[in-house]
Amino acid sequence: MKNIFVIAPIVFSLFCFQEIIHVSSSSPLLHGNQVHEESAGGRHLKQEQEHANEVHCSRERSRVAWKIIEEYLMPFLERENYQLSSKCRLHPDNDIFRDQEEHKIHIDINEWRCGYCKKSFRAEKFLDQHFDNRHYNLLNVSHSKCLADLCGALHCDAMMNSQSSKTKCNPAAAARNRHLCESLADSCFPISDGPSASRLHELFLHQFCDSHTCSGKQKPFSRGGKKQGSLFYLAAGALTLVLLPVFYLFVYLVQRDMNGQTQELRRISKVGRKSKPS
């Protein structure tokens, strides 16, 4: 019973930190040191070595775009119970890498497994290379379904280089991205589709499009996203770390107190036994 009190907090704090590590390792912010060609379209120019003729779409940037959609748009769609039409370019079917990305099995920090053939890799980038080399036939390249092409509208650069200094704002590029952004709002949330589509249309403009100006007044993702989960684990982990010494001090004091009492009881019983025969 005593062991449970000692072990439980340790297990809980370990769990919290594992969650933090998991969240941060899957975060695209970690890939921020990889240099990408800055372009409104988001197409890759150098990489995608072997199958360059077939795929002209950056997996890296598509992944960031998907992460942004998942974090800053999906929670609002769920709240409205709204289904994206497949005509909308944000629909999962319009991301050529979606199927492969969903066949990534993240077992440990240093272990990634291919969901198609079960081969293991030390890092995600090696699994990416494996997909490019071994499973490129599974990519649906029949239509233009490059999610990275929407990066300009979705602020992938802001997401990837969150710490670095800001590049100078280009008014023409900002206008282009705003136009792309507004066309996404129109095609994904047609106002004529009813009240929830109208609400999401307005939300999309606030969340993604309004900040495409050089005034710097509006920040992207102004309506927030579902980051609260990782923040909760971080707070819980920190709180546990702070409370752990207090807890052990308490256990120590209680035990010392109990030991003192039992010793006193023994002394009393000894004295009692000694005094009986006389």
Residues that bind Zn ion (CB under 5 A): 114, 116-117
| CA separation for the pair 178, 174 (Å, rounded) | 6
Beta-bridge partner residues of 106: 112
Query: To the nearest whole angstrom, how small is the minimum distance from the Cβ of residue 138 to Zn ion?
Result: 10
Closest CB to Zn ion among 134 and 256? Answer: 134
Instruction: Count CB-CB contacts under 10 A for residue 69.
Output: 20
Query: To the nearest whole angstrom, how small is the minimum distance from the Cβ of residue 141 to Zn ion?
Result: 18
Torsion over CA: 187, 209, 203, 220 (sign): positive
Query: To the nearest whole angstrom, how small is the minimum distance from the Cβ of residue 116 to Zn ion?
Result: 4
How many residues appear in the chain?
278
Closest CB to Zn ion among 68 and 114? Answer: 114
Closest CB to Zn ion among 15 and 116? Answer: 116
Query: To the nearest whole angstrom, how small is the minimum distance from the Cβ of residue 49 to Zn ion?
Result: 18
Closest CB to Zn ion among 54 and 264? Answer: 54
What is the full DSSP assignment across 65-129?
A: HHHHHHHHTHHHHHHHT-PPPTTSTTSGGG-TTHHHHTTEEEEETTEEEETTT--EESSHHHHHH
